[in-house]
Amino acid sequence: MAADAVAAAMAASSLCDDLEPATVRTCIRDVLAAGAARAGERVVVGGWVRTGREQGKGTFAFLELSDGSCVSTLQVIVDAAVHPLARLTATGTSVLVEGEIKEPPEGTKQNVELKVSRVLEVGEVDAAAYPLPKGKVKLTLEKLRDVIHLRSRTNTIGAVARIRHQLAYATHRFFEENRFLYVHTPIITTSDCEGAGEMFQVTTLFSQAEKTEKELKEHPAPSESEIEAAKVIVKEKGDAVAQLKAAKASKQDISAAVDVLNRAKEHVSKLEDRSKLKPGIPCRDDGSIAFENDFFKRQAFLTVSGQLQVETYACALSSVYTFGPTFRAENSHTSRHLAEFWMVEPEIAFANLQDDMNCAEKYVQYLCKWLLDHCREDMEFMVKNYDKSAIERLELVSSTPFVRISYTKAVELLKNVTGKKFDNKVEWGIDLASEHERYLTEDIFKKPVIVYNYPKGIKAFYMRLNDDDKTVAAMDVLVPKVGELVGGSQREERLDVLKQRILDAGLPLEPYEWYLDLRRFGSPPDLLEKQKRRSYPGRPSRSDVVPAACSSSACSTPGCVPAALPLPSPVRAWRAATPAGSGGERSGGGVAAAGEAESWVAMAEPSAPVGREGREACPSSGSGIWDLRSEEAEGST
C-alpha cells in the first residue's frame, strides 16, 4: 500500500499535462496477501484472464485474473452494464480494471474478490486461435516449447521464473553480505576457459564476404589497364606541380595543383584496394582463414566462462564474482545441455580448500533457506505438480551439516556396496558418475556430502597438487536426487609446480605467460575457485527454465533466426558439473585456486571487451569462482 501511495503522489505531481496520467496499478499478490483487511478499498488491477464465464443469464461474468505476481488468481466480477462480457471472458484476454475489493459470500474458496466499476483497457483474443488451453487443462512441457512466446502465462513457467528471480536476487544478497565485489566480465573473448574448443565464434568475415560479393557484382574490380591509366594521370599531375614550382608560380596555383595531384593519388589507391577484393572468405597462402582481416584482427568467441577475467580481480580485490551469460557449442541433445545459459562465478583469495568447502556449504544452504522463506507458494506448486519431495530436500539441505569425505574413502564405500549394481564400474581414478554421487547422498549418508582430494588425472592443471603427488585439492558438493551440485578447488599458487603441470598436460607455456605472471607478481599463497550447479524442482529439462532456450538442434528465441592463442582453461575451481553417465560429458576443468563455483542459474555485462587488436582487457588469475548457470538437472533441490 505504501508503494501505491508513492505512485499516486508521483502521478499527482507530474508536470506532463499533455500525457495521459500514470497508471497506479496494484499487484494481485498484494491484494490476496492483505485479504479482508483491504475490503472496501478501490484499486486498479491488470492481468490476463485464465478462465472467464458468464453467469446470471449473461448479466455478469466471473474472471480469474493473473498478473504473474503469484500462482494464485484474483476473482473479478464484471456486470454486463459495465462492459460487454463477450469481450472479456476468452482465456488470454488482457484487462485493466478498476473496482472495489470485497469479501465474497461465505462458503466460497476465495478470501477476497474484486467488484469492477470500470474497465479501463481490454486486449482481446481470438479464442479459436489462442494456443493455451482454458482452465485446468495442461499442456506438456514439450508442447509448451512450441509456443515459447506465450508459455510464461502458464502457472509452471511463471513459478519457475519467480524462483529463478529469487535465486538470482539471493545470490547477489549472499555475496554482498560476505563482502564480495560484483565484476562484469566480457561476453566476447579470445580465450577458451573450458579447453574443449566447443565455442561459438564471433566474426564479421561472412558479412564482409557477402558485402564484397555484392559490391563486386555492382561495381566490378578495376582492370590493370584502368589502374595504369590512373597512374599515368598521377604522373601528369605530378609533372604539372613540378613545372609550377620551377616557374615560381603563386602559392595559390601550386596549392590547387597539389590538391588535384592528391585526389589522383587517392583514386589510384582506391583502385588498387578494389583490385585486391576477392569473393569469399579471405584466406592465407596456406589455405587457413585470414583472421587478421576480421573485426578483432584475430579469432574471437562467445565466452564459456568469465572466470579468467574475474580471477585477475581476485588477485587485487580479494573476493569477487561474476554473474552473466555463457555459451557452449556442444552438439548434445540431452536435458542437461543448453547453448546459452547464465553462470555465477566467484573467486576468493587468501583461502584454502576448507574455506572453499565452508563457503560452498554456506552458499547452498543460504539459497535453500531463501527459497523456503520467499518462494513457499511457488515451491508448494512444484511439490503438488512435479516433485513431491522438493520442499523436504530444501529443508534437509538448508539445515543439515554436510558430510565431508575424501575421494579415496568415497570410492572404498562404493566398492563395498553389495545391494546395488552400478552401470559404471567403481575404481580409484574414475570421475564419479551421477549414480555414484546420488548413492552416497541418498543411500549411504542420506544427506549432502562433500567429496574432496580428487585424482589429479581427472582434474585441471591449475588445481593445487597435494603432497601425495596423486591428488589435487578439489571438492564436489553432492546432494540427494541431483548428485553434484557444486564443484570447487584450491588453485596451484607455486610457480614451478604450475609450470610443470602445464607441461605435463601437453600445453605450451607461452600462451599462459600472463597467467603465470599472476603467480610471479604477488599471488596470494592460497586461491580458491568454486562452481555450483543448481537444479529446479521437478524440471526435467533446462529448456524449461530459461525464457528462450537454444541448443544445437533449435533456437526458440522469438525472431531469432578462430586461431587465437589458447589461454588457460584453468580459471575455476567449482567445475561445470554435468555428471558423467547422465547423458552429457563432464566439463573437464576450470582453473582452481582457492574457490570457484558454478551453478545453473544466473547475469553479467561485459566490462573488458576484446580490443581491435584482439587483446582482452584483463586475463584472470585465480582465487575462488562460482559459476551459476541458468540450467537445470533432473530432480532438483
pLDDT tier for residue 617 given thresholds of 50, 70 and 90: very low
Look at residue 597 in the predicted model and tell me its pLDDT: 34
pLDDT 10s digits, 175-234: 999 999 999 999 998 766 555 558 899 999 999 889 988 888 888 989 999 999 999 999
CB–CB of 450/406 below 8 Å?
Answer: no
Rounded to an integer, what is the distance from CA 217 to the centroid of its chain? 42
Q: pLDDT tens digits for 519-552?
A: 999 877 666 665 544 443 444 455 555 444 444 4
End residue of a domain, out of 247, 270, 293: 293
The pLDDT value recorded for residue 632 is 34
538 domain-assigned: no
> Do 280 and 323 lie in a common domain?
no
Tell whether 594 is covered by a domain: no
Residue 48 CB: number of other CB atoms within 10 A?
A: 21
Does residue 629 lie within any of the structural domains? no
Domain end: 293, 318, 337, which one?
A: 293
Of the residues 272, 293, 314, the one at which a domain ends:
293
Asked if 596 and 357 count as a contact pair (C-beta separation under 8 A), the reply is no
In which order are the strands placed within the sheet that holds 181-182? Answer: 181-182, 319-327, 340-349, 527-532, 483-490, 471-479, 449-455, 403-406
Q: Write b or e for each residue in 431-440: b if 16 or more Cβ atoms lie within 10 A of its Cβ, otherwise e.
A: bbbbbbbbbb
329: domain CATH number is: 3.30.930.10
Query: What average pLDDT does the segment 98-103 reach?
Result: 96
Q: Which three cell numbers stand for residue 151?
A: 508459455
**Residues 131 and 280 both lie in one domain:** no
106-124: average pLDDT: 92
Pairing of strands 403-406, 449-455: parallel
Within a domain: 311 = yes
Q: Looking at the domain assignment, is residue 352 inside a domain?
A: yes
Domain that holds residue 76: 28-137
How many CB atoms sit inside 10 A of residue 254's CB? 16
pTM: 0.76
Confidence of residue 319 (pLDDT cuts 50, 70, 90): very high
Tell me what pLDDT residue 337 has. 72
Average pLDDT for 236-248: 92
Helix intervals (H) in 323-423 = 353-374, 376-385, 390-399, 407-415
408 lies in the same domain as 331: yes
* Domain match, 385 and 518 both: yes
Residues 87 and 220 in one domain: no
CA atoms within 13 A on the CB side of 548: 12
CA-to-CA dists, residue 333 to 430, 538, 550, 551, 556, angstroms: 24, 19, 11, 7, 14
Tell me what the mean pLDDT of segment 93-121 comes to: 93
Domain assignment present for 157: no
320-351 per-position pLDDT tens digit: 999 989 898 877 766 667 888 888 888 999 98
Regarding whether 253 and 335 lie in a shared domain, the answer is: no
Same domain, 265 and 397: no
Is residue 503 in a domain?
yes
Domain shared by 373 and 442, yes or no? yes
Q: Are residues 283 and 304 both part of a single domain?
A: no
Percentage of the chain beyond pLDDT 90 is: 57
Q: What is the mean pLDDT of the chain?
A: 81
For residue 252, pLDDT beyond 80: yes
421: in domain: yes
Question: Per the structure, how many domains does the chain have?
Answer: 3
Res 76 pLDDT > 50? yes
Note whether 406 and 500 are same-domain residues: yes
pLDDT at 635 over 80: no
Together in a domain, 380 and 485: yes
Considering only CA atoms, which of 4, 18, 574 is closest in space to residue 305?
574
Does residue 126 or residue 568 have the better pLDDT? 126
Tens-place pLDDT, residues 425-457: 999 999 999 999 999 999 999 999 999 999 999
> What are the C-alpha distances in Å from 57 to residues 76, 85, 225?
17, 11, 89
Please identify which residue in the block is written with the cell numbers 529469487: 166
The pLDDT assigned to 588 comes to 31
Q: Do 51 and 110 lie in a common domain?
A: yes
Cβ atoms of residues 319 and 627 within 8 Å: no
